[in-house]
Amino acid sequence: MLNGIAPILIFTFPENPAALSPIFNALSGIPLIGDLVSAVGVPIPLYLDEQLTGLYVESQAKNLDIETTIEARYDDKKPLVYQRGLNSSVSVNLLASKDSILLPALLALSDLVVAKLVSQKYTVSYVNGSTLILGGLLQGLNTSQSSDDDLIRITLQIQKQDSKPLAAAAAVLPKVAGATPGLGG
């Protein structure tokens, strides 16, 4: 939630923000701010408020996956424990009326993400109370509608991965004295 107003979903496209927003042209001339907008992009917020936009957060879940490696030691010391975060993900279930004013925008922004999947020149952030993911990537989007009502059910999955593995093993290896790298025979 943004100051308790509504849950918020933010799409950001750093590459070519001028094509996405006329605000970019005004901001690009301001020193420092123009450089920041060029690097980060102009955020496009979607407020998920039923009365304001017709999009309602039905439920949400956050998941954090951690890899733990334990190396036994044979010198009567504690074992070495290494951890790294594999990914952090949020799953949001939304309900929308087919007459929602922001449903077409949500679907259009999701389609725009498809064109940026390989380059990953986009981010998706979600803020709602204690559920928060910043700078994530779209993991999936599913919409379904039944003939019984005019509601559209949307499942949105956002994931943030740790692409840098922990290099703690190098700190454990002993140094070899007198060896010159690259001069093997």
- pLDDT, one tens digit per residue, over 13-33 is 875 544 545 555 655 556 655
Residue 148 is assigned to a structural domain of this protein:
yes
Residue 96 is assigned to a structural domain of this protein:
yes
Residue 77 is assigned to a structural domain of this protein:
no
Residue 72 is assigned to a structural domain of this protein:
no
- The percent of the chain in helix, strand and coil, each rounded to the nearest 5, is 20, 40, 40
Residue 21 is assigned to a structural domain of this protein:
yes
Q: pLDDT digits over 84-140, tens only? A: 888 889 999 999 988 888 888 888 888 888 888 887 788 899 999 888 888 899 999
Residue 3 pLDDT: 52
Dihedral pair phi/psi, residue 171, rounded to 5°: -75, -20
Claim: this prediction has a pTM higher than 0.75: no
Domain count, the chain: 1
Tell me, rounded to whole angstroms, the distance of Cα 66 from its chain centroid. 17
- Domain carrying residue 21: 8-62+89-164
Check which CATH number belongs to the domain holding 113 and give it: 2.40.30
Which residues does residue 142 pair with via DSSP β-bridges, in sequence order? Answer: 155
Residue 55 is assigned to a structural domain of this protein:
yes
Residue 61 pLDDT: 93
3-state SS, residue 136: strand
Residue 56 is assigned to a structural domain of this protein:
yes
Query: Cα dihedral angle (19, 24, 29, 31), rounded to 10 degrees?
Result: -130
